[in-house]
Structures are given as C-alpha cells and as structure tokens.
Amino acid sequence: MASRVEQFEALVAQQPQNALFRFSLAQSLVSDGRAAAAIPHFLFCITSKADWMMPRILLGKLLLELGRNDEAKPLLIDALRLAVEQAHEEPERELRALLAAF
C-alpha cells in the first residue's frame, strides 16, 4: 500500500500544475518528517494563488522550525494581512503571537 506521500507524489507527477495536489504533498511530507522537501511545494502554492493564506502560514512556521527566521517573517506578515482581509480570527491571533516573538 502506498504512503500518503507516495499517493500525492503520483498525483503531482500526473498534474504538476495542480496547487491542491502540491499543497497536500507538502503537508504529507511535513508529517513524514521530510519538511525541507515540502518547501518547494508550499512555494508553488504561494505563487499560484495570491490570496491563499494557509501555505504561507505553514511555510512560515516550517521555516521558523528550520531556523530560517529571515525567510519566515515576510511570509507570516503576508499571511497576517490575508487573515485580516479574509476575517480569519484564529489564524490572525496565531500569526500575531508568532510575529510578536521577532
């Protein structure tokens, strides 16, 4: 039986421009302990949809975990802007707390 990562890798191979498949692959890679491999897929999602908040949050948090704070901060600021614009209160609170640590 194929793992979730393998399932989403196969879907991305079939449809490399499908941002939802890329997002799911990135999440699966993170869950599988392969966080660094998820970065290009989250970046693809961010560039494919300017108002998609979640990949920015997840990538920002991932970069923080990897000690890449200078790269994480602009993503988290952008995600906060989107959370406010889209009236997502819980992500807004989380992002404000993360950014307060800088």
Res. 1: pLDDT tops 90: no
Q: For the whole model, what pTM was predicted?
A: 0.94
pLDDT of residue 88: 97
Q: What SS3 string covers the chain?
A: CCCHHHHHHHHHHHCCCCHHHHHHHHHHHHHCCCHHHHHHHHHHHHHHCCCCHHHHHHHHHHHHHCCCHHHHHHHHHHHHHHHHHCCCHHHHHHHHHHHHCC
Please write the tens of the pLDDT for every residue from 37-64: 999 999 999 999 999 999 999 999 999 9
pLDDT band at 102 (very low <50, low <70, confident <90, very high): confident
